[in-house]
Copies of this chain bind each other. A is one copy, B any other.
Amino acid sequence: MTSNRDAVLAAAQRTLNVDPGASVADIAQAAGVSRATVHRHFESREALLVELGTRSLDQWEQRMDAGDLEAVAASGDAARIRALLEALVRGYVEDADTYGFALTDHVILANADLVARTERLADRETGLFVAAQAAGVLSPALPGRWFGHAVYGLLVAGREAVRLGDVAPREAADLVLTTLFSGITAPSSTAPSSTAPSSTAPGAPA
């Protein structure tokens, strides 16, 4: 059984979220095993990080699979596209809670394989964004590649806001989503916020 291997991964994930520069020794301690044991399971610190990074990309991919991304994109159905976008982002915010450190970890971001795979997944996601533009859901004025970056940036923002205690973990998804979709300006005059996330409006009782 890989019981302890998973324990190490879990500990690493927890530890790195607090201190992204944590050493193998720190991680081993958090996992309650010796440093050598960590090295039995992972050839190097980088290998450990790469595995975590891979898992975070797995989650991303699963989110897109689960949402049937290509089918929804091809459907051209504005409502479906819109709903999928929202579901994806909510999912990402949730995942960021676990793998958030991977968003900005330099070791992970420098690994060629992960970078390549990230690119492929981003391309795939961009397909949805572009379809969303065609369906009138997303602004046609923005470059297709930008959307993914915007999502990424707001994930980082949400994570940081929660980490610093500026927003409650529960609020994060709504904030990210509202900001992403509608921006931060006040809804123009009295018009109903037709572009706000469908679910609970931020500020409403949770």
Contact = CB atoms under 8 A, between A and B. Distances in A.
A193 to B, nearest CB: 9
Nearest to A21: B106
A152 B133 CA distance: 26
Contacts of A140: 186
Most chain B CB inside 10 Å of its own CB: which residue of A150, A152, A153, A201: A153
Contacts of A182: 139, 182-183, 185
Contacts of A136: 186
B20 A142 contact: no
Number of this chain's copies in the assembly equals: 2
Interface string A190-206: 01001100000111000
Contacts of A156: 152-153, 156-157
Given A146-B167, A166-B146, A185 B153 contact: no
26 contacts: A21-B110, A104-B104, A133-B186, A136-B186, A139-B185, A139-B187, A141-B202, A141-B203, A142-B203, A145-B161, A145-B167, A146-B161, A147-B184, A149-B166, A150-B175, A150-B184, A154-B154, A156-B157, A179-B180, A181-B185, A182-B183, A182-B185, A183-B183, A183-B195, A188-B194, A188-B195
Given A138-B184, A145-B166, 4 more contacts: A139-B178, A141-B201, A180-B183, A188-B195
Interface of A: 20-21, 104, 106, 110, 133, 136-143, 145-147, 149-150, 152-158, 160-161, 166-167, 171, 175, 178-188, 191, 194-195, 201-203
